[in-house]
Amino acid sequence: MQVLVLVFINIILAISLNLVTGFTGQLSLGHAAFMGIGAYTSAILTLKASIPFLPALLLGGILAAIFGVIIGIPTLRLKGDYLAIATLGFGEILKIIELNLKITGGTVGLRGIRQETNIWVVSVAVVITIFIIYRIMKSRVGRSFIAIREDEVAAEAMGIDTAKYKVLAFAVAAFFAGIAGGLFAHFYRYINPNSFGFSRSIEILSMVVLGGMGKISGSIVGAAVLTAAPELLRSISAYRQLIYGILLVVMMIVRPEGILGDVDVKIPIQRKLEKLLNKNS
Amino acid sequence: MFLQQLINGITLGSTYALIALGYTMVYGIIQLINFAHGEVYMVGAFTGLIFVNMFGANIALAILGAMICCMLLGVLIERIAYRPLQGSSRLSALISAIGVSIFLSTLVVLIRGPQTTSYPQMFKIVLYQVGPAKISNLQILIMIISAILMIALHLIVQKTKVGKAMRACAQDQDAARLMGISVEKIISLTFALGSALAAAGGVLVGIYFNAVFPTMGMMAGMKAFSAAVLGGIGSIPGAVLGGLFLGIAEVFGVAYLSSSYRDAIAFSILILVLLIKPTGLLGKPIQKKV
What is the DSSP secondary structure assignment for residue A18, as one 8-state letter? I
Kindly determine whether residue A198 and residue B218, on different chains, have CB atoms separated by under 8 Å: yes
Kindly state the greatest CA–CA separation across chain A: 53
Interface test with A, best of B98, B225, B246, B263 (most A CBs within 10 A): B98
Higher pLDDT, B192 or A254: B192
Q: Return the closest-CA partner of residue B44 out of B199, B198, B197, B192.
A: B199
| Minimum CA–CA partner of A255 in chain B | B92
Domain extents in chain A: 2-279
Q: Whole-angstrom Cα distance, residue A145 to residue A170?
A: 11
Closest by Cβ to A245, choosing from B89, B91, B100 = B100
Closest by Cβ to B264, choosing from A88, A96, A249 = A96
In terms of C-beta density within 10 A (0-12 exposed, 13-18 middle, 19 or more buried), how is residue A150 classed?
exposed
Tell whether A48 lies on the interface with B, counting CB pairs under 8 A: no
Convert the pLDDT of each residue in B59-72 to its tens digit: 889 999 999 999 99
Neighbours of B127 (CB within 10 A): 12
ipTM above 0.85, yes or no: no
* Beta-sheet pairing, B127-130 with B133-136: antiparallel
pLDDT value at position A262? 64
Share the mean pLDDT of chain B. 88
CATH level 2 (architecture), domain A2-279? Orthogonal Bundle (1.10)
List of chain A residues with pLDDT < 70: 233-234, 237, 261-273, 277, 279-281
Higher pLDDT, B87 or B226: B226
pLDDT value at position A127? 95
Interface test with A, best of B35, B95, B271, B279 (most A CBs within 10 A): B95
Convert the pLDDT of each residue in B38-51 to its tens digit: 999 999 999 999 99
Convert the pLDDT of each residue in B145-173 to its tens digit: 999 999 999 999 999 999 999 999 988 88
Is residue B287 over pLDDT 60? no
Mean pLDDT of the B253-267 span: 82
- Tell me the pLDDT band of B240, cut-offs 50, 70 and 90: very high
pLDDT value at position B232? 86
Neighbours of B252 (CB within 10 A): 16
Task: Give the CA-trace dihedral at A126, A131, A134, A137, to 10 degrees.
Answer: -110
Closest by Cβ to A81, choosing from B81, B94, B271 = B94
CA distances from A71 to A59, A149, A179 (A): 18, 20, 18
Residues of A whose CB is below 8 A from B273 = none
pLDDT value at position B12? 92
CA angle B70, B164, B145 (to 5 degrees): 40
Kindly determine whether residue B88 and residue A245, on different chains, have CB atoms separated by under 8 Å: no
Q: Whole-angstrom Cα distance, residue B51 to residue B75?
A: 21
Whether residue B73 contacts residue B43, with contact meaning beta carbons closer than 8 Å, is answered with yes
Q: Poorest-confidence range of A62-71, B169-178, B274-283? A: B274-283
Is residue B82 over pLDDT 70? yes
pLDDT value at position A230? 73
H-type alpha helices, chain B: 2-30, 37-55, 59-77, 90-112, 137-159, 161-171, 173-178, 183-209, 216-231, 236-256, 262-276
Q: Return the closest-CA partner of residue B16 out of B207, B168, B242, B210.
A: B242
Residues of B whose CB is below 8 A from A253 = 81, 84-85, 96
Q: Treating both helix axes as pointing N-terminal to C-terminal, what angle do A31-48 and A80-100 enclose, rounded to 10 degrees? A: 30
Tell whether B272 lies on the interface with A, counting CB pairs under 8 A: no
Is residue B74 over pLDDT 70? yes
Secondary structure element (H or E) that encloses residue B168, with its range: helix B161-171
Chain B 64-83, CB below 8 Å of chain A: which residues? 80-81
Three-class SS of A191-205 = ECHHHHCHHHHHHHH
Residues of A whose CB is below 8 A from B99 = 244-249, 252
Distance (Å) from the alpha carbon of A245 to chain B's nearest alpha carbon: 4
| Minimum CA–CA partner of A242 in chain B | B103
Neighbours of A113 (CB within 10 A): 22
Q: Whole-angstrom Cα distance, residue A94 to residue B264?
A: 9
